[in-house]
Structure 1
Amino acid sequence: MATVRLAQGSVRGTQSSANATTYYAIPYAKYNGRFASASPVAPGTVEYDATRRGVICPQSASRLARVTGPKPPSTDGMAEDCLLLSVAVPTSASSSAEKRPVMVFLHGGAYVTGGGQLAWYDGYQMAGEGSVTVVSVNYRLGALGYLYDESRPLGLGTEDALLALDWVRRNIGAFGGDAAKVTLFGQSAGAYTTQLLVNAGSDLFSRAIVQSSPTSVVLTSEQAQKVRGDFETHLRDVLHTDLLGATSEQILEAQRAAITNNSNLELPFAPVTAEGPLGVAKNHSAPKDILMGWMKDDASVFVDLKLESLGVPRLVRPPLVLAATGPATAATFADPARRLAQKWCTEQGHRTTLYENTWRPRDAAYGAAHVSDMPLFLGDEEAWKAAPMLGSEPWQTQWGPRGHTARAFWTAFATNATVGPAFDNYRIGI
C-alpha cells in the first residue's frame, strides 16, 4: 500500500494492478447539507483509508441498463454526502521527477445516475498504460444536484465538478500529476458538463475530450421551473413532506414523479444556460485542445426507449430502431457537435478535432451505441462483464486489444494533443 500526504490529511491507496495504484473515495469538498453549496476541504491530519470504493450519490435505476447492465455491486452504497473522487497513478509515479499529465473524468447518466466510485470508471488501466494520472469524480445528481435555482442555474452538480477540478489543481502534484496539464473528459451528461465549462472559459483545464454529448439539448428556465414545481408538489401533496424534511428515498420518489410528468424533456434535471449549450463565452481562457465525437449508433437505445413509451411491442421495434437511428444520431449528436466545433474554432480559437466511433460489436442489439465506448477506456472485464452492449465479442481478443489502442489514443491526446493517425473503427476529423 502507498500513502500520499495532502493538506487535508494522508490517503492510503491500494495497488490495482502491476502498473498502477488507486486511491479511492477521497473527499474533494466539504458537504454542507442538502441544497447547499459545498466548500473546499479544510486542512487537517485525518488519515483516509483510500483502499476501497466509497458511496455514490442517491439515484434510481438507470434507464440504460438494457445497454450497460446493472451497476457493478462494488460501492459502499449511496449517501447525500458523496463528494468523493478516486485517483489512479502509475506505480512509477513516485520514482519519477517528471510530472504526469492529468485526466479528470465526469461520468454520464442523464444527470440522474452514475458515479465516479463505480468500478465501471476505474482509471487504473489508463494510468498504468499511458503514464497519466486519472481522476474519477462523483457529483450530486437529480433533484439533489440540479433542482432549479435561478441563483445558480448550472446546478450544484456543476459546482461540484468545478470544486473537484479546483481540488485537482491544488493537490494532484502530490500524486505525481501536472496541475498545468489537465484534460477534462466526460461521456454523455459528463460530456455535456465538459462542453459547458469550455463554453464558460474555465481555466481549470487546458484540454477536453467530449464523448457523446447531447450537444444541442436545451433545458430552459421555464421548463426547469415546471420540473421543480412538479417535484415539490409530489413531496407536499403525496408524501406530505418538504425539501429539507424528506428522506433520500422520498426525494428520489418525487424526482421520478417529476420526470414522468415531464417526459417530453430529454434532461429534466440538468444545467440551465441562458444562451443554450451552443453558446460560447465572449471572455474566455487561452485556446484549448478539444477532441469531440460520437458513436455511430448513439441514438439507438433512445429510439427504442421512445418507441417503448409509445406502446410499440418489443418484437416490432428492431426494424423501426434501425431505420430511425441514423437520423436521430445526426440530429442529437453528430450535427450539433459539428456546429459547436465550428463555433469553438472561429469564436474562441480552440483547436477542435471531431471523431466518430463506428465499431458495432457482434450480436450487440444496439450496435455502436451510447455508452458502448466506455469499456474501451475505463473499468475492466470484471466491471463490464454483465453489459449487453459487449455483444458476443470476446474480451481477450476484441475488447481488451481495442481498449489498449483506444486508451493509448486518449492518453496521447492528454500528453501532447496528438489526434492521429486514426485507428480501426475511429473516423477522425469528419
Structure 2
Amino acid sequence: MKKKIIGIILSITSLSFASEVCEIGSNELMKQLVSNHPSIKMSQEIIKASKERIDSAFWGFFPTPSVDVSAKNSDRYTTVARLDQPIWTGGKLTSNYDIAQSKEKESLYELGETSFNLIENYFVILEKYIQSKSNIDELNIGLNNLLELKEMLERRIDSGISSTSDSELLKARIQQIRSDLILAQNRLKVSIMQLELILDKKLDCEIDLNKIILLHSSNIEDSINRLLSFHPSVFKINSQIQTAKYELENTKASIMPNLSLRGEHRRGDLYNENYDKENSNQSVVYLTFTASTNAGLSALSNIEAARIKVNELKFKKLTVEKELIDTVLNDYNNYEIAKDRIKILENSVASSQNVLDSYKRLFVAGKRQWLNLVDASRELMNYKIQLANVKTNKNILAYKLALKNGQINLLNGEVK
C-alpha cells in the first residue's frame, strides 16, 4: 500500500515538474508559422485564382455563343442566336493564355517570397526573445551575488570594520540591476506578444532554440550563387519580366485583325412589318473580319509603354539581386565576427571570475576597496550578458544563412 502511495506521489510530482518545464522547439513553431499565417493563406488563394484565369484564357479558343433580341412591338421583333469560333486573332488568344500561365508562376513564387520574409521576421523576434531570457537569468545571478555581498557587508558594518557609505554604494548598484531586470522583463514580454501575433497562437511553453548544422561554404561567392539560384524573389521578378514580354506581344496583337467563323440563326424581322412569320427562320454560316487600330496612334504608344515596362523590370531584377547579395554578405560577416567574439568573451568571463574571486580574498585581507569588489561583480555580469547575447546572435545568424542557402523548405518550414 505504501509503495502505491509513493508511486502516486512520484507520478504527480513528475507531471507537475513536466508542466513547469514545458518547452517547444523553434523549428516546430517555424512549421506552424508557414502553415497557419494569414499571409500564407492569402497567397494560396491568389494561386487558386491564377489557375482559374488560366482556364478562362484556355476557353477563349473555343466557340462563343450569344443571343440578341430586338423588338419594336409584339409583332415586330428579331431574335438572333450566334456561335463565333475564332480562326485567327493575330496572337491575342495565345498571348492571353501565356500571360495567365506566367502570372500563375508569379503567384507561386510570391508564396515562397512571403514564406521567406515571414521566417526571417520570425528569426528577428526569436532572437529578442532568447536574448531577453538569457539577460534575465544573468541579471538574477548578478543580483544574487550582490545580495550575498550585502550580507557580508552588513556583518562587517555590525563589527565596525566597514562604513555605512559602502552600504549606500551597494544599494545603488542593486537598484540599478533591478531596473535593468525590469527592462529585460519588458523586452521579454513584448517579444512574446510579437511571437504570439506572428504565430497566431498563445504561447504557453518556453521556446527552445534548436541547433542547426550550417551547410554554407567558406567561399562567400558560393553562398551568393546559391542565394541567387534559390531565392523566390529572383524567380518572381523573372516571371514578371516574362509576363511583361507576353503583355507586349498582346499589345502588338491588339492592332491585328480578327477572323472568325460565325454560325447564325435569325427569327423574325424588325424592319419589315409584312414579313411571313411562319417562314421567318433563317440560318447562315459565314466568315467575319474585324479590325480596329484604336484612337489615333494610341496603339503605338501602348506598344512602346509595354516595351519600356520590360526594360524597367530588368533593372528591377538587378536591384533585387544587389539587395539580396548585400543581405547575405552582412549576415555572413556578422556570423564570422560572432564566432570570434564568443572566444574573446569566454576568456573575458573566465578572467573576470578570477578577478572577482581574488578581490573577495583581498578585500577580506584589507588590500582592496569595497568599490573594487562591487565593480568586479558587475563587470563579470556584463561579460556574461554579452556572451549570452553573442551566442544567441550567432545561432540566429546560422538560421538566417541556412534560410538564404536553401536549407529551410519554404513550403513546410522543415530544416534540411
State whether TM-score is above 0.5.
no
Query: TM-score, length-normalised on structure 1?
Result: 0.20
TM-score (norm 2): 0.20
Which structure shows the higher helix fraction?
Answer: 2
Looking at secondary structure, tell me which structure has more strand per residue.
1
Relative contact order (C-alpha < 8 Å, sep 6+): which is higher?
A: 2
Q: Which has the larger radius of gyration?
A: 2
